[in-house]
Copies of this chain bind each other. A is one copy, B any other.
Amino acid sequence: MNVYRYEQNPLVTPADVKPHRDDFEVIGAFNAGVAEYGGEVILLLRVAERPISPDPSVVLAPVYNVEKGELELVPIRKDDESYDFSDPRVIVRRDQAPAFEYLTSLSYLRIARSRDGRTFTIDDEPFVYPSQPLESFGIEDPRITQIGDTYYIYFSAVSPVGIGESLVSTKDFKTVEHHGMIFGPDNKDVLIFPERIGGKYYALHRPTTKSCGRPEMWIAESDNLLYWGNHRHLIGLRDGMWDSGRIGGGAVPIRTERGWLELYHGATKDHRYCMGAVLLDLDDPSRVVARSGRPILEPDAAYEADGFFGGVVFSCGALVDGDVVRMYYGAADTSMACAELSLAEILDGLEPV
């Protein structure tokens, strides 16, 4: 696979983003949803900010209090042996492991704009900030599906009661309308197809199951984008391969002559995240046609290998122009980068299922 990484990579780093509060530091500007609006490329960044603790023996866990309309910082002593701090992303109460009790950072969505798709200017203010009861731990990993002149933005809404997928919409990237949680917990990595197929809307989703099952991709249908059903299992993990540990949808499905092309992430059990592709039937996207035997992008560059959580490439959106796929992606849970790939080469590299 020929991969052209932009010379400007990483395109956005935490150092480029001013924290939204003086007592916070930006630790990630990554996993952005992608759209084209008003002649610009919009990266809807997931910005992760961590409270700066004045006491190094105390971690401050950020929790948005919806009733009060303000962020609260919950202090937890690092020497409290009832907690496990080994994963830098979460604070785990040992008697409830592996479920987490708090996150160490608060994520929200912020807009970066560019005329050339390479040099971005970042808005001063958050665009979508936690405001709902199910968002009190933050909002993560947005995707954007444009249908007509409406941009549907959906993201992981995280709170003490679980992680689900919530939906907002905008026509101008200035104001948003909230539509509630469209996939209940635990669910992530939702991707809404950009048009109706046989009269129905479709979405990919990724339940995280506890009783049985593994982190795999499902498909659901809807007639209004708000209510979803007919959930079906779509593709699973593949032992011994690059997608043996977990998988989930990445970019909004791309309509091609050969089928719907979904660029998805796959990770091994030791958390090395690559990007690959799966091809779905044009008329029945619950039918899997072909799938990447090998990744189309692997975490090789320095900014992909090292960071807050290294060894990760994770795309939430791509733009397609002719044969050129501009795949934007989060690198190492830290920064944003972009790689150009050939659409024909991705399709030719797929193996029939």
Contact = CB atoms under 8 A, between A and B. Distances in A.
Contacts of A229: 179-182, 226-228
A309 interface: no
Contacts of A77: none
Contact of A161 (B182, B208, B228, B236): B236
Which residue of A162, A163, A181, A223 has the most chain B CB atoms within 10 A of its CB atom? A162
A258 interface: no
B220 A161 contact: no
A187 interface: yes
A184 B181 contact: no
A211 B181 contact: no
Given A186-B210, A211-B186, A164 B228 contact: no
B100 A162 contact: no
Which residue of A164, A222, A223, A236 has the most chain B CB atoms within 10 A of its CB atom? A164
Nearest to A213: B162
Given A182-B229, A184-B231, A205-B184, A211 B161 contact: no
A213 B161 contact: yes
A164 B187 CA distance: 13
A267 B257 CA distance: 54
A182 B227 CA distance: 10
Which residue of A158, A179, A180, A213 has the most chain B CB atoms within 10 A of its CB atom? A213
B161 A185 contact: no
Contact of A227 (B99, B209, B227): B227
A73 B163 CA distance: 36
Q: How big is the A interface, by class?
A: 35 or more
B233 A226 contact: no
A180 B221 CA distance: 11
A107 to B, nearest CB: 14
A101 interface: yes
A134 B211 contact: no
A207 interface: yes
A212 interface: yes
A133 interface: yes
Interface in A95-111: 98-101
Which residue of A180, A184, A232 has the most chain B CB atoms within 10 A of its CB atom? A184
Nearest to A133: B233
Nearest to A219: B184
Contacts of A133: 232-233
Contact of A231 (B98, B183, B216, B236): B183
A232 B221 CA distance: 20
Contacts of A98: 210
A88 interface: no
Contact of A218 (B101, B184, B210): B184
A113 to B, nearest CB: 31
Contacts of A224: 223, 227
Given A184-B218, A207-B184, A160 B231 contact: no
Which 5 pairs, one residue from A and one from B, show the smallest C-beta to C-beta distance?
Answer: A162-B213, A227-B227, A184-B231, A227-B229, A180-B230
